[in-house]
Structure 1
Amino acid sequence: MRKIKAQLFISLDGVVEAPDRWHFPYFNDEMGAAVDATLGRADTLLLGRRTYDSFAGAWPQREAEGGGDAPFAKVLGDARKIVVSNSRLDFTWRNCEQLGGALAPAVAALKEQPGADTPVWISGSVSVVRQLIAAGLLDELNLLLHPIAVRGGMRLFDREPTAVPLELVSAETFRTGVLNLFYAVAPAPGGATYEDAKTHLPQH
């Protein structure tokens, strides 16, 4: 059974939109290694339509140009890329296919495929991530938390009445102040009140 994992660049105030406008000053060798350890080793990517369009508009050309990022571009090109869209797509990038059927049952079927040691990675694709969290299908969320408040743009968790409990799996601090955080979706915490909490306050 395969796991579904997502990686997103996120600001201190929760913005995930257009990270190309604010995250590059924080991209150092540590972040490069973190991205390589996830997307750089993925054999299958699950992408929303907008993220696919962004990737397909950049990475094939970078691979062809043979620059310093060409090896990473080749990894992305060689990976199986499953694109989520309600519209019929025509692909120009190799190894691309469109997800068939509704998102939740199609991803549930994808999870049943063999490959327990090779997770399916999602990059960006916020709408897809939100839907999979709501459906209980996302196994892990990797947030690269940047020490900047962007003050505008789409946030990962929008205004919904249902809370999303998460369990911290691991955390690493980069020299830039970026936090590399891995979360698993957790069950809802038990009920508690201030009366419960105050027992943990220092008693003077």
Structure 2
Amino acid sequence: MRKITAGLFISVDGIVDNPQDWHFPYFNDEMGEAVSALVAPADTLLFGRVTYDSFAGAWPEREAAGGEDAGFAKALGDMRKIVFSRQDLEFTWRNSEQAKGDLVDVVTALKAEEGGEITLSGSTSVVRQLLEAGLVDELHLLVHPIALQNGGLRLFEEGTTVPLQLISVTAFKTGVLHTVYGPAEAPAQQGYEEAKAHIAQ
């Protein structure tokens, strides 16, 4: 059974969209190591169309330019890339393909195959669906110490309940918290009557 990891940059008030507008002041060596560690064990990347277009519009050029990030760009290019979209897509970035069928069914089948890890970076709608289906083994949230307060896209929509357990948390020098969560059973129903026994006297 293949491991599935998902990583997102997220503000302290839960916003995940347009990280290019607020994320980079917090990118340091610790962040670079965390991002690389998510990709290194994987041989398959999953994308929604919007995130794929963003990656495909940048990383092939960075690989060709041969700069400091060319090695990372090549690693992304060499990986199998599966894109989920309701539109018919055409690809120029190598090793890219469009998924055929229901997202949960496709990923369930991928997870059962032999191979390396499967990872996602961004692609919020895909991450949501996989979390709700219990298919994500590790959710890496890089929580930035900034409240955007702009009404932007959030990881979790209102009305959804996804129980998680904390696996680890690491504080970076920039104030970013790298939190790693795994799936969990829903907690038992309790109220104040049960909680008050734990109040210090």
Q: Same fold (TM over 0.5)?
A: yes
- Hey, what's the Cα distance between the residues in 2 that align with 1:2 and 1:100? 20
Which range is displaced more, 61-70 or 38-47? 38-47
CA offsets 1:63-96 (integer angstroms, 9 cap, x no match): 0000111111001001110111111111100011
SS at match of 1:122: strand
- Hey, what's the Cα distance between the residues in 2 that align with 1:94 and 1:23? 28
**Alignment partner, residue 182 of structure 1:** 180
> Where do residues 1-204 of structure 1 align in structure 2 (5 Å cutoff)?
1-115=1-115, 118-152=116-150, 153-160=152-159, 162-203=160-201
- Hey, what's the Cα distance between the residues in 2 that align with 1:120 and 1:9? 18
Consecutive unaligned residues of structure 1, counting only runs of 5 or more, are none
SS at match of 2:34: helix
The one-letter code sitting in structure 1 at the alignment partner of 2:138 is E
- Hey, what's the Cα distance between the residues in 2 that align with 1:136 and 1:29? 32
Consecutive unaligned residues of structure 2, counting only runs of 5 or more, are none
- Hey, what's the Cα distance between the residues in 2 that align with 1:77 and 1:41? 15
Alpha-carbon contact 2:5-2:38 (below 8 Å) kept: no
Taking structure 2 as the reference length, the TM-score comes to 0.97
Identity of aligned residues (%): 62
The one-letter code sitting in structure 1 at the alignment partner of 2:162 is V
Aligned residues: CA RMSD: 0.9
SS at match of 2:185: coil
The one-letter code sitting in structure 2 at the alignment partner of 1:159 is E
- Hey, what's the Cα distance between the residues in 1 that align with 2:182 and 2:109? 20
Shift of 1:41: 4.0
Alpha-carbon contact 1:6-1:129 (below 8 Å) kept: yes
